[in-house]
Structure 1
Amino acid sequence: MTNENTQALSDAGVSIWLDDLSRELLETGAIAELVKERNVVGLTSNPSIFQAAMSKGDRYNADLERLTKEGKDVDEVVFELTTSDVREACDLFMPTYESSGGVDGRVSIEVDPRLAHDTDGTVEQAKKMYDTVGRENVLIKIPATKAGLPAIAATIGAGISVNVTLIFSLDRYRAVMNAYLEGLETAHADGKDLSKIHSVASFFVSRVDTEIDKRLDAIGTDEATALKSKAGLANARLAYQAFEEVFSTSRWSTLEAAGANKQRPLWASTGVKDPALPDTLYVTELVAPQVVNTMPGKTLDAVSDHGDVHGDTVTGTYEESSKVLDDLDAVGVSYSEVVDLLEDEGVDKFEKAWGELLDGVRAEMDKATTPA
């Protein structure tokens, strides 16, 4: 039977995506079960997820040995293993993709995080990933760095669907939506079918609270303490306000008339980091039509077990949310400093995970070539 809490979330207009991918999940049927029982309609991956997947178990060993004996280097091996997993996940979600008209049934794979500040390199790898996976329902993840913005526009312009990741600030989010519209305008001018191009913009939530709450604790006043664990929700809710504004402009209307799809907001980093907070906070308090919430398995379990879905918890909160950011500034927390730091840390975290992934795969490749 379908879980009543996840069904309520779906009924409220939220697409539930799983923030995890591994061969174990694919081969054991765990993802297929979540599709059937918990309204999961898509999936996201990132360098940290692949690093965790390949560091445990032996499900990748045979392919590692084969690719090593074929003379592939470590980057080629990782590229082949990750795109293979994503292709299989795309096939699993293809019925959802078809039944939703391409809105859901999506699987994301991220460009090499070492390209985060390389526009041309990002575009080149995005095209290579899209061609290699070879499935319409793949989303290529590109980080919302300054160098990422023109890469997003160029990739969308080439007719490739994109998941824009690592968005922390409202200004950067508006720039991301502008890059999407630029890409659609390029694609339209080139005669591409806009109805086939989709995008989500991954706005990170819990990491905002983690960093800001640390600063509020250091300030230590009653005013500062009263603001704890409010910034993440306020920031995301104001992002939804920006989404509503941008996708009600005449510029958007022209593209929509040509068949374009809205770039949906996606709530990422929705696992609660502070054990004092409700473990479903970044799900039940960010319910609104046309959003995606990508959840790690633990958060999805919590929502399924005790998530209290009580309708739209975003629209109508904008004045209150703006006040939270104003109050943070008043007690001495710099919003711009925090979001800039989080972007840098996000890129660094994925680069580190990628490095660990390469090291782990390289070690397995060495074993494959070492005589017993």
Structure 2
Amino acid sequence: MSTPLSELSAAGVAVWLDDISRDRLRTGNLADLVATRDVVGVTSNPTIFQKAIASSELYDEQLRDLTVRGVDVGEAVRAITAADVREACDVLRAAYDASGGVDGRVSLEVDPRLAHETERTVAEARALWWLVDRPNLFIKIPATRAGLPAITETLAAGISVNVTLIFGLDRYDEVMDAFMTGVEKALAAGRDVTDLASVASFFVSRVDTEVDARLDKIGTAAAKDLHGKAAIANARLAYERYEKAFATPRWAALAAKGAKPQRPLWASTSTKDPSLPDTIYVSELIAPGTVNTMPESTLQAFADHGSLSGETIRPAYEDARAVFAALASVGVDLADVIETLEAQGVRKFEDSWNQLLDTITERLGGAGGPR
């Protein structure tokens, strides 16, 4: 029977879950979402892991063993998160095999405190790839200035990458270039690239949050009319850049050698503004060859009352350009918006990582004792 999520999948949008926990894995919840909600991928981040570990007893045994072994908190975080991601990779393995390695992927993020350190990011990516030891793993690397060469070198080493924290169109161009350079270097090293994959995670709702706050300060009627429009326009124009980049002779040469394109992934797709529909960042971003990673609340909302009216990206390129022009005319500096969001994004991920370290430190100290 056709459902909104199955129709979304049929339209070329891969449905991924933006959450992971040992409870989801052990109760069979993730497997159920795969079976009943067309989920073919999973993303994670430090905030998700912090909440999972702080609230579940299912980590107690592993924490107790880590305490007995005298493992430091950094290695404990790697061991715990890698265990969950490895198990999720196994749940998604059938989707990975069925899609020829396109879907069935699970993402694990490098330490976000390394966002401005290229060599350490690459070293961390190698270590996590070895630790999880599953072909359907994605290593998440932020699209910072220092992250770009790290993305290239990680791909060149044969490691699949989820590029995260992309907000702006120009940076997205640089991300796609870093991806293609990585594939070229992998081929030059004699690697088989047919299983090398990547997604570029373009953050959506955070753009509206920042832009709408600026529109509120401007306060004019014209500014008010632009509420809730910037993020979708930004993502649509990103897809246009994707189409252009992957229609070049450079990409054709790589595709001829078995390379898979780096798909755009819509991240941060829960609606923050209650005046907007709760599925707007799904229904308004439909195009083939994309991924939409959703928290379960958005996933279930779309399953319940999501609607599709054909593609909603490619027919709207001119509308998106008009939104950008209107934003500029009322005084919104989009370049400053993007710079602000990247800095905030790195800082938020660092804060979440530190909270995760604090949670693990507390749990290591209390493993086996009162909680």
TM-score, reference length from structure 2: 0.98
The whole-number CA distance in structure 2 between the counterparts of 1:321 and 1:310 is: 18
User: Contact 2:60/2:368 (CA < 8 Å) preserved in 1?
Assistant: no
- 1:181 maps to a residue whose letter is M
What does residue 140 of structure 1 align with? 139
User: Contact 1:20/1:43 (CA < 8 Å) preserved in 2?
Assistant: yes
SS in 2 for 1:317: helix
- 1:146 maps to a residue whose letter is R
What does residue 226 of structure 1 align with? 225
- 1:363 maps to a residue whose letter is E
- 2:82 maps to a residue whose letter is T
Q: CA deviation at 1:57?
A: 2.0
The whole-number CA distance in structure 2 between the counterparts of 1:315 and 1:140 is: 29
What does residue 342 of structure 2 align with? 343
**What aligned pairs does 1:109-258 form with structure 2 within 5 A after superposition?**
109-258=108-257
Task: Give CA deviations for 1:189-229 in whole Å, capped at 9, x if unaligned.
Answer: 11111111100000000000000001101111011011110
Q: CA deviation at 1:371?
A: 10
The whole-number CA distance in structure 2 between the counterparts of 1:3 and 1:29 is: 23
- 1:271 maps to a residue whose letter is S
User: Contact 1:69/1:369 (CA < 8 Å) preserved in 2?
Assistant: no
The whole-number CA distance in structure 2 between the counterparts of 1:208 and 1:164 is: 17
RMSD across aligned C-alpha pairs, in angstroms? 1.2
The whole-number CA distance in structure 2 between the counterparts of 1:41 and 1:234 is: 26
The whole-number CA distance in structure 2 between the counterparts of 1:161 and 1:368 is: 34
The whole-number CA distance in structure 1 between the counterparts of 2:345 and 2:125 is: 19
1:97 equivalenced with 2:96 (yes/no): yes
- 1:46 maps to a residue whose letter is N
Q: CA deviation at 1:316?
A: 1.9
The whole-number CA distance in structure 1 between the counterparts of 2:14 and 2:310 is: 14
Q: Which runs of 5+ in 1 are unaligned?
A: none
Q: Which runs of 4+ in 1 moved over 4 A?
A: 369-372
Task: Give CA deviations for 1:240-285 in whole Å, capped at 9, x if unaligned.
Answer: 0000000000000110111110000000000000011000000011
The whole-number CA distance in structure 2 between the counterparts of 1:92 and 1:223 is: 49
Task: Give CA deviations for 1:305-328 in whole Å, capped at 9, x if unaligned.
Answer: 000112110012111101111111
The whole-number CA distance in structure 2 between the counterparts of 1:264 and 1:202 is: 9
User: Contact 1:3/1:37 (CA < 8 Å) preserved in 2?
Assistant: no
What does residue 69 of structure 2 align with? 70
- 2:220 maps to a residue whose letter is T
What does residue 328 of structure 2 align with? 329
- 1:43 maps to a residue whose letter is V
SS in 1 for 2:57: coil
Q: CA deviation at 1:238?
A: 0.2
What does residue 50 of structure 2 align with? 51
Q: CA deviation at 1:35?
A: 0.6
SS in 2 for 1:196: coil
Q: CA deviation at 1:108?
A: 0.3
Overall identity of the aligned pairs, in %: 55
SS in 1 for 2:141: strand
What does residue 363 of structure 1 align with? 362
- 2:89 maps to a residue whose letter is C
- 1:156 maps to a residue whose letter is L
User: Contact 1:41/1:106 (CA < 8 Å) preserved in 2?
Assistant: yes
Q: CA deviation at 1:370?
A: 7.4
1:17 equivalenced with 2:25 (yes/no): no
User: Contact 2:12/2:290 (CA < 8 Å) preserved in 1?
Assistant: yes
Q: CA deviation at 1:369?
A: 8.1
The whole-number CA distance in structure 1 between the counterparts of 2:368 and 2:339 is: 44
The whole-number CA distance in structure 1 between the counterparts of 2:81 and 2:110 is: 11
User: Contact 1:3/1:38 (CA < 8 Å) preserved in 2?
Assistant: no
